Amino acid sequence: METTLTPTERTRLKRLPQRGSYDVATIHAILDAALICHVAFNVDGQPFAMPMAFGRVGNQLYVHAASVGRMPRAGADGLDMCITVTHVDGLVLARSAFHHSMNYRCAIVIGRARLVSDPIEKEAALRAVVDHVVPGRWDEVRQPSAQELKATAVFALALEEASAKVRTGGPIDDADDYTRPVWAGVVPVTTTFGQPEDDGRLVAGVAPFEVSRLQ
C-alpha cells in the first residue's frame, strides 16, 4: 500500500495548503477516530449528504444502507461519492471576528463506490462497521440472518483519492488587535462516553459494559 497519495484536482488543498496532508497513515488515523462519516452523492441531479456509520478494512471504506434506499437504487453499477469526517478539537477565539476559527482534523475521500456483491466481503464489511463503533462487538452478538443481509446494501470506496487537513494552535490576530482588551485563546473540545445504561432486560449474569473498550 502507498504511504503517500498523489493529490488530484479534486483533493489538492488550495487554501492554506500547509495544513494539508496526503499521508495515508494520517488519513487512516483521522478516519479511524471518527464514529460517523457524512456521505454525499447525487441522484438524478439532487444532491444528498447522509450521516452514516462506517468501517475501514485496509484501503477500503465501507458504508451500508437499506437495500431499498436511494443509494442502492441509484448505484447498482457504482455511485460517485464524497465521504468526509471531521473532529473539532478546540474553539479558537481571536480578538477580531474575522480570525475566529476552530482546531480540527478532517479527511475527505472521493471516488466511485461499488456495490458489494460478494457475500464474504459483505459480511467482512459489516463486521468492520460494527467493530469500528465498539471493538470486538461483532463476535459477541448474533450474526446477521440471510434476510437481514438481503435487506442491507454495502458500498465500498477505495482510499485512492483522499486528503486530510489539520489546524492546531492559537488564534492568529492582526498586529494592531493585540492591544484590544478582549480574551483570546483556545477552548478545548473533547468527546467523552457516559455511564452505560442497560435496557432492563439483560439475562442474569451478564457482565456490565465496560466503557474502557471505547477508549
**Residue 13, pLDDT score:** 85
Give the CA distances from residue 133 to residues 4, 114, 190, 208, in Å, rounded to whole numbers and listed in that order.
Answer: 27, 23, 17, 18
Give the mean pLDDT of 191-215. 94
The answer to whether residue 202 scores a pLDDT higher than 80 is yes
Give the mean pLDDT of 32-57. 96
**Residue 76, pLDDT score:** 84
Domain residue limits, the chain: 17-89+102-170
Give the mean pLDDT of 133-143. 96
- What span, in angstroms and rounded, lies between the C-alpha atoms of 202 and 181? 57
Average pLDDT, the chain: 95
The answer to whether residue 150 scores a pLDDT higher than 90 is yes
Closest among 96, 215, 97, 71 to 156, alpha carbons compared? 71
Give the mean pLDDT of 140-169. 96
- Whether the Cβ atoms of residue 132 and residue 53 lie closer than 8 Å to each other: yes
**Residue 45, pLDDT score:** 92
Return the percentage of the chain with pLDDT > 90, whole number.
90
Return the percentage of the chain with pLDDT > 70, whole number.
100
The answer to whether residue 21 scores a pLDDT higher than 90 is yes
Domain at 17-89+102-170: CATH code = 2.30.110.10
Pairing of strands 101-115, 162-167: antiparallel
**Residue 139, pLDDT score:** 97
The answer to whether residue 215 scores a pLDDT higher than 80 is no
Half-sphere exposure (CA, 13 Å, Cβ side) for 173?
17
**Residue 1, pLDDT score:** 62
Closest among 162, 159, 164 to 21, alpha carbons compared? 164
What are the beta bridge partners of residue 57?
60
